């Protein structure tokens, strides 16, 4: 056993190729070199906690998880901050409509976000700063910008002076010089000197939450949040900044301008952006009724593990088209891997120490896997290598495997799963167990039962009944009792 594991690990960190990422800043592939050897600091724009995340948001968070896990697999220590935007126009309006304060309104959405991270096996970041906990940092940064004449006050608000930053547009390629000076573009920003300028501090309006500041009572604009929180947690210059492509302009362009003007130092070295998720080829929107959350999909029988696999399986710089067929394909792919693992675990043990085909196959796989990931997170290549390896294992198991081979394959799969987070060594065994049927594993049942309990908790009985019917189709019987719901396979 120890021999085999040392084989699997010895091909790892030392022989891994250098990582290359596509940097939005400059729009080219670059070899990754962190500021501090062995240590990566990265900031990932987090959710606006106005509603539970939709699967588009989750796609971006999963891309960031793949990046984080890949960096760790390549031997780096990672310090990641992901912010929670818990004050902004839509949140304020919704809280006012419900007659509650913004924390009361955002709390359940923050809980839903963390629940999704757990269900989708997204590794926790080191920091989850909330905008409302960092207003003092934002005010300090705005003061620095005013002090450097990169910002000015007007009617109780403060604006960033785009004309003060000659490099504005460097990240996104957007050319704002075409916007006419003095043009008034937004109702609440009529004090701007220049149409292109954007708000750093919004003057308080009656009934809205506000903080006192040297510029008068008000609240921060969205862009300054990320500049101030990244500086507080990761420093003025850090390695990687991520988000979805919609973040490139104006959000990240504005962050870059603010941070470099306020600090007088370079802001971020590598900017990585994920393309959007579409549903049935269309943009998600409430009016089309295609804006799914994780729990919507679990209620339709898609296990979180299959959703993770599906959302990860397309390269982050390509659009991903979600369909229910593609979710079924993802489940089937995982089943093939589950079954391979089961066959390996149950294969006859060969009484020899000479055969080492699968040790070699594991070594080759790990090299292909590493090469693909190093190439700007080429996840299709990495999964392709995994399926070729799985095929080789399947071909061999009928003849039996040696102790060293079995241990090497297990160690190699566990190593790959530190990046992918989708393998479940016990899943096929559960199906094979007496009473276990194909089509549903215990984790899937537990997830559906939890969704039903949540639906009952919010008195959505139609949804609860739909989930009960779905479970019945899968051969699961529920018994509701005083201590909760128990289930059994019928
Ligand atoms: P938000 O909660 O709107 O602030 O978005 C959180 C993250 O999800 C940001 O990084 C967005 O760029 C990203 N995002 C928003 N919509 C989509 C989508 N349809 N597909 C992928 N990522 C998205
Ligand atoms: Zn941000």
Residues with Cβ–ion distance below 5 A, ligand 2: 45, 226
Q: Give the nearest ligand 1 atom to 284 CA.
A: 19
Residue nearest to atom 12 of ligand 1 (CA): 244
CA of 302 to the centre of ligand 1 (A): 21
CA of 47 to the centre of ligand 1 (A): 7
The residue among 168, 167, 161, 148 whose CA lies nearest residue 200 is 161
Dihedrals φ, ψ of 82, to 5°?
Answer: -130, 120
Shortest-distance ligand to the CA of residue 242: 1
CA of 263 to the centre of ligand 1 (A): 28
pLDDT below 50 — which residues of the chain? 1-11, 180-188, 437
Pocket of ligand 1 (CB under 6 A): 45, 47-48, 56-57, 59-60, 85, 243-244, 246-247, 274, 276-277, 284
Residue nearest to atom 15 of ligand 1 (CA): 57
Q: Give the nearest ligand 1 atom to 47 CA.
A: 2
Q: Give the nearest ligand 1 atom to 85 CA.
A: 4
Q: Give the nearest ligand 1 atom to 276 CA.
A: 20
* pTM for this prediction: 0.87
Percentage of the residues of the chain whose pLDDT score is greater than 70:
92
Angle at alpha carbon of residue 304, lines to 303 and 309, rounded to 5°: 100
Task: Name every residue whose Cβ is closer than 8 Å to that of residue 215 and which is 6 or more positions away in sequence.
Answer: 142, 153, 156, 157, 158, 201
Shortest-distance ligand to the CA of residue 243: 1
Under a CB-based contact definition with an 8 Å cutoff, are residues 221 and 202 in contact? yes
Angle at alpha carbon of residue 13, lines to 12 and 15, rounded to 5°: 75
Residue nearest to atom 6 of ligand 1 (CA): 47
> Facing residues of 375 across strands?
20
pLDDT in tens, 373-382: 999 999 999 9
- Beta strand 268-274 with 277-279: parallel, antiparallel or unpaired? unpaired
Task: Name every residue whose Cβ is closer than 8 Å to that of residue 368 and which is 6 or more positions away in sequence.
Answer: 381, 382, 385, 388
**What pLDDT sits at residue 9?**
41
CA of 272 to the centre of ligand 2 (A): 13
Task: Name every residue whose Cβ is closer than 8 Å to that of residue 8 and which is 6 or more positions away in sequence.
Answer: 362, 363, 366, 408, 411, 412, 415
**What pLDDT sits at residue 194?**
83
């Amino acid at each position: 056993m120890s021999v085999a594991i040392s084989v699997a690990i010895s091909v790892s960190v030392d022989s891994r190729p250098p990582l290359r990422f596509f940097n939005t800043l400059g729009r080219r592939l670059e070899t990754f070199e962190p500021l501090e050897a062995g240590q990566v600091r990265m900031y990932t724009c987090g959710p606006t906690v106005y509603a539970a995340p939709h699967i588009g948001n989750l796609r971006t968070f999963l891309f960031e998880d793949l990046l984080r896990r890949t960096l760790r697999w390549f031997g780096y220590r990672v310090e990641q901050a992901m912010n929670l935007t818990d004050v902004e126009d839509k949140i304020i309006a919704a809280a006012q409509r419900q007659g509650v304060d913004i924390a009361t309104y955002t709390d359940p959405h923050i809980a839903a976000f963390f629940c999704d991270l757990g269900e989708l096996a997204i590794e926790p970041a080191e920091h989850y700063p909330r905008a409302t906990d960092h207003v003092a940092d934002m005010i300090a940064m705005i003061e620095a910008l005013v002090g450097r004449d990169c910002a000015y006050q007007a009617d109780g608000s403060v604006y960033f002076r785009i004309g003060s930053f000659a490099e504005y547009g460097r990240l996104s390629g957007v050319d704002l010089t075409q916007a006419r000076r003095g043009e008034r573009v937004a109702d609440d920003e009529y004090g701007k000197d220049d149409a292109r300028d954007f708000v750093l501090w919004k003057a308080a309006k009656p009934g809205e939450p506000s903080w006192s500041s040297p510029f008068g009572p008000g609240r921060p604009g969205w862009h300054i949040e990320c500049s101030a929180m990244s500086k507080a947690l990761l420093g003025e210059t850090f390695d990687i900044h991520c988000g979805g492509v919609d973040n490139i302009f104006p959000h990240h362009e504005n962050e870059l301008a603010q941070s470099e003007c306020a600090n007088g130092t370079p802001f971020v070295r590598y900017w990585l952006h994920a393309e959007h998720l579409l549903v049935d080829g269309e943009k998600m929107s409430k009016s089309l009724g295609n804006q799914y959350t994780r729990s919507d999909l679990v209620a339709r029988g898609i296990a979180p593990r299959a959703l993770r696999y599906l959302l990860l399986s397309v390269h982050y710089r390509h659009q991903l088209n979600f369909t229910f067929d593609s979710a079924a394909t993802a489940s089937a792919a995982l089943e093939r891997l589950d079954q391979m693992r089961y066959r390996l675990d149950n294969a006859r043990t060969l009484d020899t120490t000479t055969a080492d085909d699968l040790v070699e196959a594991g070594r080759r796989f790990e090299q292909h896997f590493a090469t693909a990931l190093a190439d700007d997170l080429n996840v299709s290549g990495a999964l392709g290598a995994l399926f070729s390896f799985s095929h080789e294992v399947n071909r061999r198991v009928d003849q039996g495997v040696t102790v060293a081979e079995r241990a090497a394959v297990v160690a190699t799969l566990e190593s790959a799963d530190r990046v992918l987070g989708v393998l479940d060594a016990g899943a096929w065994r559960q199906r094979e167990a007496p009473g276990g049927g194909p089509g549903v594993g215990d984790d899937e049942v537990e997830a559906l039962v939890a969704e039903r309990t949540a639906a009952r908790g919010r008195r959505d009985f139609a949804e609860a009944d739909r989930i009960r019917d779905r479970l019945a189709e899968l051969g699961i019987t529920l018994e509701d009792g005083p201590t909760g719901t128990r289930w059994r396979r019928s």
